Amino acid sequence: MNTYRIAICDDESLTCQEIKDILVNNSHQIGVNFDTEIFYTGESLIENIRCGAAYDFLILDIELARLSGIDVGKFLREENRNFHTQIIYVSSKETYAMKLFSVQPLDFLVKPVTEETLFKALKRGFEIIGESGDYFTCKVGREEIAISCKDILYLFSNKRIVSIVCRDETIDYYGKLSEEIKKLPDYFAQIHNSYVINLNALKKTGNDHVVMNNGEQISISRKYAESFKNKIFSRWKKMCCEG
């Protein structure tokens, strides 16, 4: 059974416990496990992420005491350069839509959070980020290695060398990009004969290029422009459509 790591951050302990109870009581019904942690301040959550903690979802109250949920979201996207983690905001108010745009949240839920609205959001998140246990395997020299797909930004091919560019390292090995793409989850897309990118590591797109979350700009070739556009549109529908 697939396991997703979730951080719940709200300065109301009752709200945190209610959300955790919804997750725990329904996990087997939808066929996943949830590893949950509770935080009561944005500062404590940020510190935990700085120390190396990684989450698939953040369920964030917007009106936290000092650092707001929006501040936490900006830290995750801008400083931590993390576009894999899906953010679900919760609030008793409905007036935050434009302020949330820059941190690309998965959803915005009005308190009290219900089982129905929370799981609608989570199920869309599952489709977007894939399984938390997705790994890509390749042979480097004589050694077979496995790389977590969420750590991969893109794959690049130069003649017979394939380079896997991750957040913290680049791994080179002999191979063909056309064969390697068959081993990747659906949230990877080819945009050029030499490039396959992780859509969860995509910061923004232009007409003829993309910018990855490490700031690198990669060209989109005409050959792949239409298929890439269709894939982005399909992904957008998953993020924006309910159910």
The enclosing domain of 193 has a CATH number of 2.40.50.1020
Residues 61 and 106 in one domain: yes
Are 142 and 181 in contact by the 8 Å Cβ rule? The answer is: no
Residues 202 and 228 in one domain: yes
Low-confidence ranges of the chain (pLDDT < 50): 242-243
Q: Provide the token pair at 215.
A: 């700031």
CA 117 to chain centre: 19
Q: How far apart are CA 91 and CA 88, in angstroms?
A: 10
Residues 49 and 120 in one domain: yes
Residues 118 and 205 in one domain: no
What CATH number did the domain enclosing 63 receive?
3.40.50.2300
Q: Would strands 152-158 and 135-140 be described as parallel, antiparallel, or unpaired?
A: unpaired
Q: How far apart are CA 151 and CA 159, in angstroms?
A: 24
Q: How far apart are CA 124 and CA 235, in angstroms?
A: 10
Q: Residue 213: its pLDDT value, please?
A: 82
Q: What are phi and psi of 136, to 5 degrees?
A: -110, 130
Q: Would strands 57-61 and 86-91 be described as parallel, antiparallel, or unpaired?
A: parallel
Residues 16 and 124 in one domain: yes
Q: How far apart are CA 87 and CA 78, in angstroms?
A: 14
Closest CA relative to residue 241, chosen from 93, 88, 106: 106
Residues 45 and 120 in one domain: yes
User: Ramachandran region of residue 153, left (φ > 0), alpha (ψ -120 to 50) or beta?
Assistant: alpha
Residues 86 and 191 in one domain: no
Residues 71 and 123 in one domain: yes
Q: Provide the token pair at 96.
A: 């935050």
Q: Residue 131: its pLDDT value, please?
A: 66
Cα dihedral 93/95/100/104 (nearest 10): 80
Average pLDDT, the chain: 88
Residues 121 and 39 in one domain: yes
Domain containing 172 equals 135-240
